[in-house]
């Protein structure tokens, strides 16, 4: 199996490199990769990368994750969190490949006192949450072979996170 991993230098991507390697050939990219385009803001470059690699599975761990900064750069956040996942989903569908995508609990409004279900109503309160929800919607419309994880409080040995503060 060939796996394309995007966002290899982030907290999730860094940990996934080790976890995915026993499953097959992993092509792990980040925004400054040189052999293939790993910059998810380059939508045509991403499409070309998928076509060139022809993976069985695409794992998208790349995103605009600076929640507060997304408010001042909404177009960039939309490109990274919604349009890039749509391109990945569309290209994956052409290959019959799976797309595994990491989203966020920011698609919800933060209310309630029980864990959310996949079927719960969404209600993002920020640009970040709205762009991540748009990405989820575009993925589901573009490729029936997808898996979306809505994560929260991600932490790892690498990168900045709440566990290190």
Is 128 assigned a catalytic role?
yes
Radius of gyration of the chain (CA): 15
Pairing status of strand 57-60 against strand 98-104: parallel
CA distances (Å), origin 84, targets 41, 113, 121: 7, 33, 24
Given 102, 106, 128, 155, the catalytic residue? 128
Residue the block writes with tokens 């040189």: 34
Measure the CA–CA gap between 110 and 9, rounded to whole angstroms: 28
Measure the CA–CA gap between 16 and 7, rounded to whole angstroms: 10
Is 123:74 a contact under the CB 8 Å cutoff? no
E strands along the chain, which residues?
A: 2-6, 25-29, 57-60, 98-104, 146-151
Catalytically active residues are: 128
């Amino acid at each position: 199996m060939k796996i394309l991993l995007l966002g290899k230098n982030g907290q999730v991507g860094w940990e996934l490199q080790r976890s995915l390697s026993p499953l097959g050939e992993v092509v792990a990219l980040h925004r400054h990769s040189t052999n293939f385009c790993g910059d998810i803001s380059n939508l045509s470059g991403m499409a070309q990368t998928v076509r060139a690699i022809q993976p069985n599975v695409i794992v998208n761990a790349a995103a605009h994750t600076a929640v507060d900064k997304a408010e001042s750069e909404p177009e960039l956040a939309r490109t990274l969190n919604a349009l890039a996942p749509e391109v990945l989903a569309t290209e994956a569908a052409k290959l019959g490949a799976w797309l595994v995508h990491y989203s966020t609990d920011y698609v919800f409004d933060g209310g309630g006192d029980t864990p959310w279900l996949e079927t719960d109503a969404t209600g993002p309160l920020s640009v970040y949450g709205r762009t991540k929800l748009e990405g989820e919607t575009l993925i589901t419309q573009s490729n029936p072979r997808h898996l979306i994880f809505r994560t929260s409080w991600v932490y790892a040995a690498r990168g900045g996170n709440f566990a290190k503060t």
